[in-house]
Amino acid sequence: MAQSPSGPQTLFDKLWDSHAIVTREDEQTLLWVDRHFVHEGSFHAFNKLKERSAKVSRPDLTFGIADHYVPTRRSGRSIDPAIQNMLDQLERNTSENGVMLFGLNDPRQGIVHVVGPEQGLTLPGLLMVCGDSHTSTHGAFGAWGFGIGASEVAHVLMTQTLWQRKPKRMRISVDGTLAPGIGAKDIALSIIARIGADGAQGHAVEYAGSAIRALSMEGRLTLCNLSIEAGARCGMVAPDETTINYLRGRPFAPKGEYFERAAEDWLRLMSDEDAQFDREIVLDASEIEPVVTWGVSPEDALPITTAVPDPESIPDSGKAAQIRDALAYMDLKPGQKLTDVRIDRVFIGSCTNSRIEDLRAAAKVLSGRKAKVPGLVSPGSSLVKQQAEAEGLDQIFRDAGLEWVESGCSMCVGMNGDIVQPGERCASTTNRNFKGRQGPGARTHLMSPAMVAAAAVTGHLADVRPLIEERS
């Protein structure tokens, strides 16, 4: 919907306007990029730069982070030469261009979407890009973050700008109060199940409503992170006191009176009262249950209290075939109760759910209990790891029988060699249950950290709520 510049604007409209450099007749707009993160996969883009004998245009706005390929078991082990090569290329490409790198041995190293917020590199009102689809995460601060491909990475490296067509605006409101044990992951999976993995395609999503306002920054990061799994261009939450309190004192955030002045600007970043959205979705928080995925797309998500769908009862033949295919890959029976699905291992980590609050939620369930299956816990950053150790969470994970390792993308994508074996079933806090995502033939069930902990102690997909109640 076209809006006059003087009329009521959405938060996204405001971000758009503050970054538009020129708009062509064909409605493509050249946008200014405030932050650009590059990880090991950026070598394709740096090679394009070399072909043109070009240099990074704004090294001060570009930050390198080693995360996708870093080994999570580091001490006393030699690194696979192909992986070492990926790390070396990033080191070379950043140092040759004067770009700061949070490398393997940097105490601030971690997953890009955890480190950015943690370091105060992510701020409200910024346009942030990275060659990684989960860049939507940074929207939690009222920033506009989106993932780009290698050609676009090269374009940003060379010009600090990007051409875009304005996406449509969608508001997803979640009102009411979440029940204990239910969090941002359950909200996000419920939304994706409802609108589909392409339900927000071509849209900039704003999350609003009392349940969203009540979320911590960690929760908002999880929610915005999963926007891309609904196909959205980006997801965002308007800044408020929670945002400002999180940012105060972060290493790269403005300091002192500069911070207070910035905070005034940031708190003005919100959708105007009468702003029009192209699409509105409303959810009732009190109806949200703990959710798990059963299939091979994040849209294949259901409350844990239900059963695997039966393709025979689906009239749409294409949809039925899709379910049949997913059930075959996942080795599940139609109509099988979700709580009857036995698992082989668990993974707690990834940019979706590896922040301190996620680790606390899992540890709360695991404390004093034993996991029936093996599993890996990889904190989202080296600083999160430090914090968790200071709180004694590492000991809870170890006592439960899980492995406590260093930070990185790890088993989210398996690039560093942390994979789920073929045919194995993993309860995972990650974001994609795609075929082969966690390793060839791996079967992934997505859920919240508390739900993964519940699966670990029971050995099957399980409702975390009784396990929490036993504690209180």
Q: Residue 135: CB partners within 8 Å, gap ≥ 6?
A: 37, 113, 128, 129, 145, 146, 147, 148
Rule CB under 6 A: say whether 416 interacts with ligand SF4: no
Residue 165: CB minimum distance to other proteins, A = 7
Q: Which of residues 260-319 bind other proteins (CB under 8 A)?
A: 261-262, 265, 296-297, 318
Choose from other proteins, ligand SF4, none: what does 47 bind? Cβ within 5-8 Å by kind.
Answer: other proteins
Report long-range pairs for 423-426 (Cβ below 8 Å, ≥24 apart). Answer: 423/331, 424/344, 424/345, 425/330, 425/331, 425/341, 425/342, 425/343, 425/344, 425/345, 426/343, 426/344, 426/345, 426/346, 426/347
Rule CB under 8 A: say whether 30 interacts with other proteins: yes
- Name the segment binding other proteins (CB under 8 A); options: 123-131, 169-177, 274-282, 301-309: 123-131
**How many chain residues bind ligand SF4 (CB under 6 A)?**
13
CA dist 91 and 105 (Å) reads 12
Rule CB under 8 A: say whether 193 interacts with other proteins: no
Choose from ligand SF4, other proteins, none: what does 30 bind? Cβ within 5-8 Å by kind.
Answer: other proteins
CA dist 233 and 403 (Å) reads 35
Rule CB under 8 A: say whether 27 interacts with other proteins: yes
Rule CB under 8 A: say whether 202 interacts with other proteins: yes
Residue 226: which of 380, 66, 351, 362 has the closest Cα? 351
Rule CB under 6 A: say whether 227 interacts with ligand SF4: no
Rule CB under 6 A: say whether 412 interacts with ligand SF4: yes
- Name the segment binding other proteins (CB under 8 A); options: 181-189, 192-200, 216-224, 339-347: 192-200
Kindly state the tokens that stand for 340: 């009857």
Residue 111: CB minimum distance to other proteins, A = 14
Choose from other proteins, ligand SF4, none: what does 198 bind? Cβ within 5-8 Å by kind.
Answer: other proteins
State residue 195 phi and psi, 5-degree precision.
-100, -15
Rule CB under 6 A: say whether 68 interacts with ligand SF4: yes
Q: Which of residues 300-319 bind ligand SF4 (CB under 6 A)?
A: none
Rule CB under 6 A: say whether 132 interacts with ligand SF4: yes
Residue 337: CB minimum distance to other proteins, A = 25
16 contacts 270 by C-beta, under 8 angstroms: no
Closer by beta carbon to other proteins, 119 or else 429: 119
Look at the alpha carbons of 51, 55, 59, 64 in this order and tell me if their dihedral is positive or negative: positive
- Name the segment binding other proteins (CB under 8 A); options: 214-222, 283-291, 412-420, 454-462: 412-420
Which position has the token pair 């491909």?
A: 149
Q: Rule CB under 6 A: choose which of 111, 308, 323, 326 binds ligand SF4.
A: 111
Q: Rule CB under 8 A: choose which of 7, 8, 47, 88 binds other proteins.
A: 47
| Helix pair 449-458, 356-366: axis angle to 10 deg | 30
Residue 189: which of 227, 137, 144, 234 has the closest Cα? 227
| CA count, 13 A, side-chain hemisphere, 284 | 2
Measured between its terminal Cα atoms, the distance across the chain in Å is: 50
Choose from ligand SF4, other proteins, none: what does 350 bind? Cβ within 5-8 Å by kind.
Answer: ligand SF4
Choose from ligand SF4, other proteins, none: what does 318 bind? Cβ within 5-8 Å by kind.
Answer: other proteins
Residue 272: CB minimum distance to ligand SF4, A = 33
DSSP string, 334-382: TT-BGGG-B-SEEEE-TTTS-SHHHHHHHHHHHTT---SS-EEE--SBH
Residues found near ligand SF4 in the complex (CB under 6 A): 67-68, 111-113, 132, 134, 350-351, 409, 412-413, 431
